[in-house]
Structure 1
Amino acid sequence: MIVRTLSEAVSVNWGNGVSRRFLLASDGMGYTVTDTIVAAGTKSRLEYRNHLEACYCIAGSGEVVNSAGDAFPIVPGTLYALDNHDPHFLVASPDEDLRLVCVFVPALRGDERHSLDSATFSHY
């Protein structure tokens, strides 16, 4: 059995926020669970070429924008899933941080960070 508290999770500053990673590849579960904070007022261009990700909003607000430009509001109680390695923008509202519980498959090593260069997508 694995039991971890937020203070024990691996904390990674990914550029526009912090990802607290509860489960990693080394835990042998096959997936990662994170508690992720996206800083208020940020816009992150992201793409996971090696992972699928589902995110469930537990606090704050923002939107996820797909490569076609369609924007989907994110508020507490909203889940979005990047089921096709979808390139996307993750935007936190200007007045509050966005907090997400995320699941990555396959699991992250733990040290991955985003490249937030506007000309390229990050690729885990």
Structure 2
Amino acid sequence: MIVRTIADAKVVDWGNGLSRRFLLSGDGLGYSITDTIVTAGTKSRLQYRNHLEACYCIEGSGEVVDMEGNSFPLTPGTLYALDKNDAHYLIASKEGDMRLVCVFSPALHGDERHSLDAAEFSHY
């Protein structure tokens, strides 16, 4: 059994917020769970080429925008899943930070960070 508190999670600054990583590849479960803060007013162009991801919004608000320009509002109680390694923009509202609980498969190693360079997609 694995029991961790937020104080035990590995904290990674991913560029436009913090990723508090509860489960990593070394735990042997095959997936990761993170508690992710997206800083208010930020826009991040992202793509996970080696991981599928599902994110559940538990606090704050924002939107996820696909590369065709389709925008999907994110508010507490909304989940989005990147089931095809989808490139996307993650945008947090200016009113406050957005908080997401995210699951990655396969599991993150732990030190992965985004490259937020507009000229190239971020990826793990």
Q: In the alignment, what sits opposite 2:60? A: 60
Residue type of the alignment partner of 1:4: R
Shift of residue 110, structure 1, vs aligned partner: 0.3
Shift of residue 58, structure 1, vs aligned partner: 0.2
In the TM superposition, structure 1's runs of 4+ consecutive aligned residues that sit over 2 Å from their partners are none
Gaps of 5+ in 2: none
Q: What percent of counterpart residues are identical?
A: 72
For residues 1-124 of structure 1, what are the structure 2 equivalents within 5 Å?
1-124=1-124
Q: Distance in 2 between matches of 1:70 and 1:45?
A: 14
Shift of residue 53, structure 1, vs aligned partner: 0.2
Residue type of the alignment partner of 1:17: G
Shift of residue 95, structure 1, vs aligned partner: 1.2
Q: Distance in 1 between matches of 2:122 and 2:31?
A: 19
TM-score normalized by the length of structure 1: 0.99
TM-superposition CA deviations, 1:34-89 (whole Å, max 9, x none): 00000000000000000000000000000000010100000000000000000000
Matched length: 124
TM-score normalized by the length of structure 2: 0.99
Gaps of 5+ in 1: none
Q: Let me know the Cα RMSD of the aligned residues.
A: 0.3
